């Protein structure tokens, strides 16, 4: 018997990212023949268990591709529309029991879509991302199912698939299911590795997806359309500064509350618990405006934000010194920072929200402070900012940009270069395998290989120098 059909056309590099049931926009006669063909395949080979038969569909006819003798990752969408536990069914059949229902008893209700949340960086051509998960919060929303394999504190290794977990949405109609899933993905919070959930949320809202005008070539042709913002709006910069300020004030409050009573001034002990005059961090300066300055780096841009305190109100001014954006000075004299608790936050990041009224508009963001890094989730995007400290200088040569260091941990799959070899720009020197994908390290310029530091099969940490290349002298 069959349990309906699914569509898995949203793929990147032959890796499925969005799956749905039932398959949309298929004529009823074709759908009937498709399901009958799958049952015929299983019957003719005498197959006993759960299985998945895959076909290619060109819009007019379908062609057998393969049969997977197991449930697949996307079995959850079939469970959502049938109301059945397919894992239980599989175990019962393996134990010799008969199928609990007949074909005519199977009913499909509504539509379900699944998103695979993966540890990969959409901003760097989806390079796998490994490391410790400093924060991982999955959405907890009605009609949303989460099958998670990781949680906060876990280590994402470079030796396995990049899948962190699955988020599944059900609704009576397809467009409603897509909207629910996109909204749920924007209530996923992760810090420590790069993830693809905001990018997938944009795909789910794309007209081509909603109108079923996509195919397996869709992301290869249009994937760049769903990239995150290239600029950071002044509103988010203001909230980023307010988030840092709030986190520092909270740290000072905790230190105040933990201090022995004898170590505090007599006046301080009379204050309300948890609030120290030294924890207000209001930038008080005699005879000058009360101001606190912050500096951030994001995507190569340098941003400075000033928070000014006036009669209990907090305003912000932001300056972008980056290139190619022009120098701007944006005043937020009308911005009033208020506690996030004044606004309903829904399924936000618990205890880590900041909000403001800017020119009669309410803006809100969730944040997570991780040392000098500030993660800000706002406007459907995830911004990872670095608090600028002139004592700390970061340099990273990326293989994707032609560098000779590995941008991710992995295993050397192939070494094409030899010491003394003359190579041309773009020539592949080494291949690194990580999370079931291969990444080529290419020569950034014409030159001669001076040294090769790793051999095939060696494990390489992220940022390791793989080769040394001397540029060819130009006449």
Which residues are annotated as catalytic? 70
CB-side exposure of 71: number of CA atoms within 13 Å? 15
Nearest CA to 295 out of 395, 394, 386 is that of: 386
Nearest CA to 178 out of 78, 111, 86, 104 is that of: 111
Pair of tokens at residue 89: 């069914």
Query: What's the Rg (C-alpha) of the chain?
Result: 27
Rounded distance between C-alpha atoms, residue 412 and residue 459, angstroms:
6
The position carrying tokens 């390290």 is 441
SS3 328: strand
How crowded is residue 24: how many other Cβ atoms within 10 Å of its Cβ? 16
Rounded distance between C-alpha atoms, residue 471 and residue 475, angstroms:
12
Rounded distance between C-alpha atoms, residue 212 and residue 210, angstroms:
5
Do residues 453 and 464 make contact, with C-beta atoms less than 8 angstroms apart?
yes
The position carrying tokens 């060819």 is 472
Nearest CA to 333 out of 313, 353, 355, 361 is that of: 313
Q: Is 115 left (phi over 0), alpha (psi -120 to 50) or beta?
A: beta
For 163-211, where are the E strands, in sequence order? 163-171, 189-191
First vs last Cα of the chain: how many Å apart? 73
Parallel, antiparallel, or unpaired: how do β-strands 328-332 and 155-156 relate?
Answer: unpaired
Do residues 303 and 284 make contact, with C-beta atoms less than 8 angstroms apart?
no
Rounded distance between C-alpha atoms, residue 103 and residue 92, angstroms:
17
Rounded distance between C-alpha atoms, residue 367 and residue 244, angstroms:
9
Parallel, antiparallel, or unpaired: how do β-strands 361-370 and 353-358 relate?
Answer: antiparallel
The position carrying tokens 């398959």 is 23
């Amino acid at each position: 018997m069959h349990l309906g059909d699914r569509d898995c056309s949203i793929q990147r590099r032959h890796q499925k990212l969005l799956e749905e049931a039932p398959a949309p926009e298929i004529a009823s006669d074709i759908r009937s023949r498709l399901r009958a063909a799958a049952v015929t395949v299983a019957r003719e080979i005498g197959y006993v268990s759960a299985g998945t038969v895959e076909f290619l569909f060109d819009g007019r006819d379908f062609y057998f591709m393969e049969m997977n003798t197991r449930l697949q990752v996307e079995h959850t969408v079939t469970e959502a529309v049938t109301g059945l536990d397919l894992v239980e069914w599989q175990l019962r059949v393996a134990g010799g029991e008969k199928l609990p229902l007949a074909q005519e008893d199977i009913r499909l209700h509504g539509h379900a879509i699944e998103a695979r949340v993966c540890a990969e960086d959409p901003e760097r051509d989806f390079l796998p991302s490994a490391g410790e998960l400093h924060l991982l919060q999955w959405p907890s929303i009605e009609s949303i199912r989460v099958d998670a394999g990781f949680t906060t504190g876990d280590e994402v290794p470079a030796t396995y698939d990049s899948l962190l977990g699955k988020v599944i949405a059900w609704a009576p109609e397809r467009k409603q299911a897509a909207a629910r899933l996109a909204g749920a993905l924007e209530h996923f919070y992760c810090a420590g590795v790069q993830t693809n959930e905001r990018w997938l949320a944009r795909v789910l809202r794309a007209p081509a997806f909603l109108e079923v005008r996509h195919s397996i070539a869709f992301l290869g042709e249009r994937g760049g359309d769903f990239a995150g913002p290239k600029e950071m709006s002044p509103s988010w910069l203001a909230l980023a500064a307010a988030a840092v300020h709030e986190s520092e004030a909270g740290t000072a409050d905790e230190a105040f509350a933990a201090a022995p009573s004898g170590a505090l001034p007599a006046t301080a002990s009379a204050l309300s618990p948890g609030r120290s005059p030294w924890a207000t961090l209001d930038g008080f300066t005699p005879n000058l405006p009360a101001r606190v300055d912050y500096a951030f780096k994001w995507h190569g841009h340098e941003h400075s934000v000033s928070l000014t305190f006036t009669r209990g109100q907090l305003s912000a001014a932001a300056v972008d010194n980056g290139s190619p954006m022009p120098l701007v000075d944006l005043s937020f004299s009308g911005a009033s920072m208020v506690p996030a608790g004044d606004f309903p936050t829904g399924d936000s990041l618990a205890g880590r929200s900041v909000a403001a009224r800017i020119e009669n508009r309410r803006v809100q963001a969730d944040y997570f402070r991780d040392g000098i890094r500030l993660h800000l989730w706002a406007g459907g995007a995830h911004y990872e900012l670095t608090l600028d400290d002139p004592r700390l200088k970061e340099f990273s040569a990326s293989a994707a940009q032609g560098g000779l260091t590995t941008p991710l941990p992995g295993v050397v799959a192939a070494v094409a270069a030899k010491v003394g070899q003359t190579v041309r720009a773009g020539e592949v020197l080494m291949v690194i395998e990580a999370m079931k994908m291969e990444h080529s390290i290419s020569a950034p310029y014409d030159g001669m290989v001076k040294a090769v530091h790793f051999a095939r099969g060696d494990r390489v940490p992220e940022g390791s120098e793989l080769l040394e290349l001397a540029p060819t002298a130009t006449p």
